Chains A and B, each alone.
Chain A
Amino acid sequence: MATSQVRSLPYGLRLLRSWRSRDLWPVAAGAVALVVATPILVVVSSIATPSLEVWRHLWETQLTELVWNTLVLIVGVGLGVSVLGTGLAWLVTMYRFPGRAAFEWLLILPLAMPAYVIGFVFLAIFDYTGPVQSWLRHVVGPGVWFPDIASSGGVVLVMTLVLYPYVYLLARAAFHEQSATTLEAARALGASRFGVFWKVALPLARPSIVAGVTLALMEALADFGTVAIYGFDTFTVAIYRVWFGLFNRGAATELASLLLFFTLTLYLLERASRGRARFTQTDGKVRRAAPKRLTGWKAWTASGLASLIVGLALVLPITQLLFWTLTSLGGPDYDSRYPAFMFNTVILGVITAILAVGAAVVVAYGLRLSRSRVMTTFSRIAGMGYALPGSVIAVGVLAPLAFVDHGLDAFLGATWGVSSGLILTGSMVGLVFAYLVRFLAVSCQTVEASLVKITPNMDMAGRSLGASRGAVLRRIHLPLIRGGLCAAAILVFVDVIKEMPATLLLRPFGYETLAVRIWQLTSEALWGAAALPALTIVAVGMLPVLILARTGARPLGGTETHVAPEEEARAEKPRMP
């Protein structure tokens, strides 16, 4: 807490004052947050300044279809992930059936699968020329009816299969936290097991479920790869098309702002529901409801259902990718440039991860030192990047960077008569910046979560022993949060590798990453050739799930472990017995 006097000073004056006393942390943290928030603010401000001409053109050409498709996506995926996620969560928490412990884990793994990967695999398998339909025609004869996979239904199915784990994870955590007494009270009052679910458990878990659904929907809106190859035009596809096809940045920005509007609505909805979720959560010391053991056909139906989901979302695509990869190795489908693409991808991931963790340390430590309202606001805006589609961020990043580029070029031209060219927008700088904007929230949250566990007394002890703020960070905090820093770096790394639309829009000409390759190959239906890059991305994507498994004992912890409250309380303190 700052003093009342200091608090009432205008921010600028306070900055000046902290500058004078060489108190640079809050300034640095504010600067990082501001830079990262700029692209977001650019797109947001374009909502407020619509270009009528562009809108009229968009309206005449494609706007109705875009909005309609987006609504279909929201409703379809929303319903899909709510039913699938909540149902599976209820199944694994409240019942015992063969393989339940394994399924509890396996059902999370589809989270590692980018929608565009499973999307193109399904397209390859279930399309008219794919093995399933070919086989059916072979057996039943030509003219056999099969649902068209390249349709809105197909897109919804694919996205539901990879995005339901958001709802599953949050709903499962919520069901775990529900006290047995509440549920038993309901049963004693005459409700059936289903009645308990419908009338008690579900309403109690609703905030968590809503939060999960909105997270899933934000991902769905951000998706580019799937909708593009399925020919299902949504905003991300349209942005890409007007950007590269028409070179119309203005229209791209307007489209981005409309997409942003949809996303922001979801974002606010999520924040609101999460706020309430926090209130309803108990402190985890409740007695849990005893799961019911299923027998006979019921047990096998439960196992079968879980197997079906794991099979569709995980086993089938991975098997198909493996098959393609193995048959293509050494064959004409194998691209000898694969190591180079791999290298390009890893370089981007590593650079961004390092920068994002560094920036997160600055912001998180700055926040720790002074929780002023301005700091908090900036960091909150900077954290919004994660909720925004990569295509929106690409649009937002380009405008300020192009401005700097032109300014720099003009300045150099005027003073030395040389041209700097497009030093920012034409290089990796722009791309890395976009990644930073999108993924800073990931690293910030992780770093902040580890920092919070260090009691402020540590800081005071260090300071009173003669260490400056920087020295306290270097000698006390960083060694203590090493694990958190690594986790943050890995999370950002994986997210960068998976990110498709921002990479497509901002990559330097000719710079190709795995995700870009997948897009290029799948848009030409070269499924086999796309398998190796896709498999690589899926394998890398498993990393965060494993981290989640190791560190996030809360959402993933086994149901059988019961920790005594004292032990748990002790474990929450940072290694202080």
Chain B
Amino acid sequence: MSLTRLEGLTKRYSPRDLPALDNLSLHAEPGEIIALLGPSGSGKTTVLRLIAGFDRPDAGVVEIGGETMVDDTTFVPPEARGVGMVFQEYALFPHLTVEANIAFGVQTLDPQTRAQRITGMLETVGLSGFGRRYPHELSGGQQQRVALARALAPRPSVLLLDEPFSNLDADLMVQMHHEVYTILRELGTTAIFVTHDQEEAFMIADRVGILNQGRLEQFGRPDEIYHRPATRFVARFVGKADFLPGRVTEEGIVTEVGSLRNTPGFPAGASVEVMVRPDHIELIPDPTGKAMVLSRQFRGPDYLVVVQLPSGTTIHSHQPSTLRLHLRDRAKVVARPAHVVAFLATRPWL
């Protein structure tokens, strides 16, 4: 198992449209699990198709296991890439038994090794004894495991998973997240999976790539992505975020809810927007406070409270479920962000 590398991948399906993928580069260390996260139409699945070889990029390089699969002069067909793939609908071969499905990709092994490999895979995915069944005789979770076993049986250099969990119901999904994670870690397989579910990406992946309109907005560890979003899009897409207008002064960034440290180092006088997450907003009940409670939603462990500032800006805040604030109550707002994240304002504020 070695490095999988994408360099400058660009793909345009129609000359009229925006590129489906625009100059995308990323790499996966051996054994690493990468999640590609983005809204639908952001190009996530295109990345997988290009890695697997079902499409040819207009430009760029794909390297798998240190070998060049695609560049300006090379194009290795999908069957010769050693890439495993798990599909949203599993795409098990309905006319073949579970065993035959898993055996599909290991025809070239000698019979004994092949039999061992199949038994081993069935064991790994916890389906020993199911080998003679047909796919339609299995439950959704079991089909998913067969799909995984089938893709892993040829020992691929990299495993691609296309929204692998979106067909499962909520309970099963959590269980499969865990199982798939364990299996991948156990086998040390490099995996790239595509999802639109941020929790799923954060739970399973070592590193997450955020895609928007064919561009990779940020690529990094889940906590980096969450706490230090590189762009406004990432900030909004990953978790809830409000943006407070602020002005940079010598003391720091002055906002309606107080001053914050100018850790990003903006020049004095600049207009910025500071990202605040609901977790970082503290509300102190205070009849003379500047903010007024607009709405509150009880969510079990906590309340999601929306307050309005005198300028009209609204801010979300998570408050413990023992909250004493009511509608139209006044409160004092204190922002305590873990890291100050701000972007230069697109139009001048204040």
- Residues of A bordering B, CB below 8 Å: 1, 3-6, 8, 21, 455, 457-458, 460-468, 471, 475-476, 479-480, 574-577
Kindly state the separation between the CA atoms of A480 and B134 in the bound complex, as whole angstroms: 14
Show 21 residue pairs from A and B whose CB-CB distance is below 8 angstroms, ordered by the A residue: A3-B11, A3-B12, A4-B14, A4-B58, A5-B58, A21-B75, A457-B88, A457-B89, A458-B91, A460-B78, A463-B52, A464-B79, A464-B81, A464-B83, A464-B156, A465-B79, A475-B104, A476-B93, A476-B95, A575-B136, A576-B136
Which residues of A are found within 8 Å of B298, using beta-carbon distances?
none
The verdict on A462 contacting B52 (CB below 8 Å), with A3-B12, A3-B58, A4-B15 known, is no
| Interface assignment of B84: CB less than 8 Å from any CB of chain A | yes
Determine which residue in B55, B85, B91, B92 has the highest number of CB atoms from chain A within 10 A of its CB, and name it: B91
Cβ of A461 and Cβ of B136 under 8 Å apart? no
Which residues of A are found within 8 Å of B87, using beta-carbon distances?
457, 460-461
Kindly state the separation between the CA atoms of A466 and B53 in the bound complex, as whole angstroms: 12
Determine which residue in B58, B92, B104, B154 has the highest number of CB atoms from chain A within 10 A of its CB, and name it: B104
Which residues of A are found within 8 Å of B90, using beta-carbon distances?
576
Kindly state the separation between the CA atoms of A5 and B7 in the bound complex, as whole angstroms: 19
- Pick the residue among B56, B78, B94, B154 that contacts A463 (CB under 8 A): B78
Cβ of A464 and Cβ of B89 under 8 Å apart? no
Which residues of A are found within 8 Å of B83, using beta-carbon distances?
464
Cβ of A463 and Cβ of B105 under 8 Å apart? no
Kindly state the separation between the CA atoms of A471 and B154 in the bound complex, as whole angstroms: 17
Cβ of A574 and Cβ of B53 under 8 Å apart? no
Cβ of A3 and Cβ of B105 under 8 Å apart? no
Smallest CB gap from A468: residue in B:
B79
- Give chain B interface residues in 95-135, CB to chain A under 8 Å: 95, 104-105, 107-108, 135
Cβ of A464 and Cβ of B52 under 8 Å apart? yes
Q: How large is the interface on B (under 10, 10 to 19, 20 to 34, 35 or more residues)?
A: 35 or more
Kindly state the separation between the CA atoms of A458 and B93 in the bound complex, as whole angstroms: 7
For the complex of A and B, the 8 pairs showing the least CB-CB separation, nearest first, are A465-B105, A457-B91, A463-B78, A464-B85, A575-B94, A461-B91, A4-B15, A457-B87
| Interface assignment of B13: CB less than 8 Å from any CB of chain A | yes
Smallest CB gap from B75: residue in A:
A21
Cβ of B85 and Cβ of A461 under 8 Å apart? yes
Cβ of B15 and Cβ of A460 under 8 Å apart? no
| Interface assignment of B150: CB less than 8 Å from any CB of chain A | yes
List 6 additional A-B contacts (Cβ < 8 Å) besides A6-B56, A467-B104: A3-B55, A455-B91, A457-B91, A465-B104, A466-B105, A576-B92
Which residues of A are found within 8 Å of B52, using beta-carbon distances?
460, 463-464
Which residues of A are found within 8 Å of B75, using beta-carbon distances?
21
The verdict on A468 contacting B77 (CB below 8 Å), with A3-B12, A4-B14 known, is yes
Cβ of A463 and Cβ of B91 under 8 Å apart? no
Which residues of B are found within 8 Å of A468, using beta-carbon distances?
77, 79
| Interface assignment of B151: CB less than 8 Å from any CB of chain A | yes
Smallest CB gap from B150: residue in A:
A465
